[in-house]
Structure 1
Amino acid sequence: MPTAVTAQQARTPTREPGGIAARFLLPLIALATAVTAANIYLAAPLLPLIARDFGSTPSAVAWVASVAQFGYAAGLLVFAPLGDTVNRRRLVAVLSLVTAAALVAGAMSAGTTALAAAVLIASAATVVPQLLVPLVAQRAPADRRARHVAAVIAGLFTGIVAARVLGGLAGQAFGWRAVFVGAAVLTAALGLLTAYALPVEHRAARTGSLFSGLAALPSVVRRSPDLWRACVRQAGMYGAWSALWTSLALLLTAEDATGYGLTTATAGLFGLFGLAASMVAPLAGGFVDRFGAAKVVRSAYLLAAASVPLFWLGGHVLWALFVAAIAVHAALVASHVANQTLALTTTSTPATANTAYVVAGFAGGAIASALAGSAFTHFGWGGVCAVAGVWLVLGWATTTTAVRR
């Protein structure tokens, strides 16, 4: 019986790239994913430099970084489902150029309002990774599909780490405007190169509105129990990670008895623990291909559950934070590889299913982050750990029915 992925391929025949293009397509997609994913978090480490340039304070311009999250969410809902119906070569090229233009406009902005508008557009258009992941899953051999998806996910997490660590260092050396221009050049170059290397897709003329994919999301999730479980479980996992990771800077930089009193730059180096995700992704992909997604997700949840008391202990001893940071990143990426592979192969519209999956995880993370900030204010670091633990319980307890392999 053909899988959902092969059914999708049958409806959208392609001309495969040959020679060097075919050999380096997956590494190229992973690299393009790293660069485009970094754009979402580009402003965050540059906020002190932006504030100084605009004669303001970092807290007064912090909302610019939050705008990027809303832009990315909007882009996911509008553009990512188009991967099922629109020629991806053209869409990747157009979105890459729009992102680059918005980043250049941001570099030329004279105030926070203009900068926020540019960041909003750039983040909405930088959804290229979620257009390419379904393509990777479609092209991959069935016995290596999760490993191919893991390669792209590794690129995504590497981009996030690079934005937070290297972006801050480059901004200190050359200024935040130069970082925006450099990101624009990289985005345009890699976006156009990736679009050129993608297989040619011969698809029938698309019918319906720009938002037809968005309208189809509820029915796609309703018809696939496997997709629903993947969405809920990743929302729980990503929520727990977000609660801990977004509140960690508050613990590290607090100068009273509740924190460690570290500088912002030193606390930012904790972002390097995100590199654990890049190393775990290929291993997780191999385990999914060998043992199935359900076992990998179960193991990831156990590891994440073990990291929560370690994070709590890290409120008193720093070494526990090191161990917990590695553990929760490994759990997050292993769960992500397994759940996203399942989401991409459980329906005949993988791009739409992938959109539902990513939006569910994003929503879980956003809600948990908001609750964690309030919990830290009222209950300290222990309250943050409690939010993370509750999110893991909710993500697992609501999906206790058997998962089909």
Structure 2
Amino acid sequence: MPSSETAAPTTPALTTSAPTTSAPTTPAPSATAERAAGTAAPAPVPPGIFLALIALCTAVTAANIYLAAPLLPLMARDFGSTPSALAWIASVAQFGYAAGLLFFAPLGDRVNRRRLVAGLSVVAAVALGLGAAAPGATALAAAVLVASAATVVPQLLVPLVAERAPAHRRASHVAALIAGLFTGVVAARVLGALVGQAFGWRYVFAGAAVLTALLGLASAAVLPAEQRRRTGPLFAGLAQLPGVVRGSAELRRACIRQGGMYGAWSALWTSLALLLTGSGTEGYGMTTATAGLFGLFGLAAAVVAPLAGGLVDRFGAAKVVSAGYVTAAVSVPLFWLGGGALWALCAAAIVLHMALVANHIANQTLALTTTSTPAVANTAYVVAGFAGGALASALAGTAFTHWGWTGVCAVAALWLALGWATTATPRRSATPLR
């Protein structure tokens, strides 16, 4: 990152590559400013325990977005439908998360994050509980939409950790939370499938509701107390989004890169249960529990995350993103071969998760440090990623119905091509990526 990040040790490190919107903002205060304003000091817990608890909360809450995908066969059996006909519920979760990010994540720059994290955790838990009791697909989709919209806690915690991390270790600290996030994705797939197969998918949603409430409230309790002096409307951060994105070419590039990469991952990963549990020429005929174990390959992301954070700190975001896209490009033909060869499917899952996490850490670190409003910038970045993922998932479900696994792989290849085309555009910003 540029050397200007270390110029003021008591202030969150920021780059100065491009101006941002002139809308009134209140930058996140430094620790010194918080004490001067009478704000309570950070919670009296050791930094290692604090980071571990935040990472665990990130894992649990992130898992909520992916609960439905591995349980589609069980839901279909319960509702008298087919798994492919219910694939849209997985897209609803991603659209809900993107909507929640638009409205709630920018509040991290403006309101007390303790109260916000606690309130959203309770809302998400209640919605998951209602989902567990849903009588049909429509009611379940509505519950998933609300739960996903409230499951933006990770994107409130990541900027806080980035603000307080030393400049030379920022990507590594962000990587710790990203590792937690991907661990949650794996848990949603593996544990969700195992519990669903043994007790039913409704127990999975009920358990997720309990864990979300417990971890969300526990994390809120140890967060530093904040007294934000808000000016203007509560949701002014949402109005700032267009100006912040226009003002930073690096942020725009990070948004599109992530949209392409996450879209490719979503198309393949949300459709994988259809391939693994399907029968005939387009499926392996596995049970839901066995197919869920396939999610263990996602642990590659959690393993790679700390390494990727170190590489970003050392070599910069641009090189890591380029390497991630090359790696993802290798995974798509492997996934296509995996339609008939299980070994190729296993290898592809590992390769794609490595590419996704490297790309995500590099781009999110950039998004958090390229403007003076990190929560708003992070909102733009994550919304772009999840919008790309939701669209790709929706297209992948249709593609699987009409063209099988080959159609899903084609959707993934298209999203990667779009993201790479933007990545390859010559940089014009005043502060280039290292």
What is the TM-score of this pair, normalised by structure 1? Answer: 0.90
Shift of residue 240 of structure 1?
1.9
Matched, 1:157 2:182: yes
Structure 1 partner of 2:355: 331
Alignment check: 8 A CA contact 1:22 1:197 kept: no
Letter in 1 for 2:416: L
Matches within 5 A, 1:14-93: 15-50=40-75, 56-59=80-83, 63-93=88-118
Structure 2 partner of 1:276: 300
More moved, 5-14 vs 72-81: 5-14
Evaluate the alpha carbon distance shift between residue 317 and residue 62 of structure 1 in structure 2; reply closer, same or farther with a 3 A threshold: closer
How far apart are the structure 2 equivalents of 1:46 and 1:375?
20
Evaluate the alpha carbon distance shift between residue 182 and residue 241 of structure 1 in structure 2; reply closer, same or farther with a 3 A threshold: closer
After superposition, what is the alpha-carbon deviation per residue over 1:278-332, rounded to whole angstroms, capped at 9, x for unaligned?
1111110111111111111111111111222222332343212211110011000
Shift of residue 370 of structure 1?
3.2
Matched, 1:307 2:310: no
Shift of residue 148 of structure 1?
0.7
How far apart are the structure 1 equivalents of 2:399 and 2:71?
27
Structure 1 partner of 2:321: 297
Letter in 2 for 1:156: L
Letter in 2 for 1:361: G
Evaluate the alpha carbon distance shift between residue 242 and residue 67 of structure 1 in structure 2; reply closer, same or farther with a 3 A threshold: closer
Evaluate the alpha carbon distance shift between residue 97 and residue 260 of structure 1 in structure 2; reply closer, same or farther with a 3 A threshold: closer
Structure 1 partner of 2:268: 244
Structure 2 partner of 1:364: 388
Shift of residue 20 of structure 1?
2.4
After superposition, what is the alpha-carbon deviation per residue over 1:112-165, rounded to whole angstroms, capped at 9, x for unaligned?
444433332222111100111111110111111111111111111111111121
After superposition, what is the alpha-carbon deviation per residue over 1:91-127, rounded to whole angstroms, capped at 9, x for unaligned?
0011111222222333344444444333322221111
Match among 312, 320, 343 for residue 367 of structure 2: 343
Evaluate the alpha carbon distance shift between residue 366 and residue 114 of structure 1 in structure 2; reply closer, same or farther with a 3 A threshold: closer
Coordinate RMSD, CA, aligned: 2.5
Structure 1 partner of 2:258: 234
Letter in 2 for 1:355: T
Shift of residue 66 of structure 1?
4.0
Identity %: 72
Shift of residue 172 of structure 1?
3.4
Evaluate the alpha carbon distance shift between residue 250 and residue 167 of structure 1 in structure 2; reply closer, same or farther with a 3 A threshold: closer
Letter in 2 for 1:205: R
Matched, 1:215 2:239: yes
Matched, 1:189 2:214: yes
Structure 2 partner of 1:127: 152
Aligned partner of residue 244 in structure 2, secondary structure? helix
Alignment check: 8 A CA contact 2:90 2:393 kept: no
How far apart are the structure 2 equivalents of 1:229 and 1:333?
17
Letter in 2 for 1:302: V
Evaluate the alpha carbon distance shift between residue 257 and residue 61 of structure 1 in structure 2; reply closer, same or farther with a 3 A threshold: closer
Letter in 1 for 2:113: R
Structure 2 partner of 1:5: 12
More moved, 92-101 vs 341-350: 92-101
5+ unaligned residues in a row in structure 1: which ranges? none
Match among 402, 408, 414 for residue 384 of structure 1: 408
What is the TM-score of this pair, normalised by structure 2? Answer: 0.85
Aligned partner of residue 20 in structure 1, secondary structure? coil
Evaluate the alpha carbon distance shift between residue 178 and residue 283 of structure 1 in structure 2; reply closer, same or farther with a 3 A threshold: same
How far apart are the structure 1 equivalents of 2:397 and 2:64?
24
Alignment check: 8 A CA contact 2:106 2:375 kept: yes
More moved, 11-20 vs 289-298: 11-20
Alignment check: 8 A CA contact 1:276 1:329 kept: yes
Alignment check: 8 A CA contact 1:5 1:350 kept: no
More moved, 119-128 vs 304-313: 304-313
How far apart are the structure 2 equivalents of 1:52 and 1:258?
19
More moved, 365-374 vs 185-194: 365-374
How far apart are the structure 1 equivalents of 2:288 and 2:244?
43
**Matched residue pairs, number?**
403
Match among 193, 200, 205 for residue 168 of structure 1: 193
Structure 2 partner of 1:178: 203
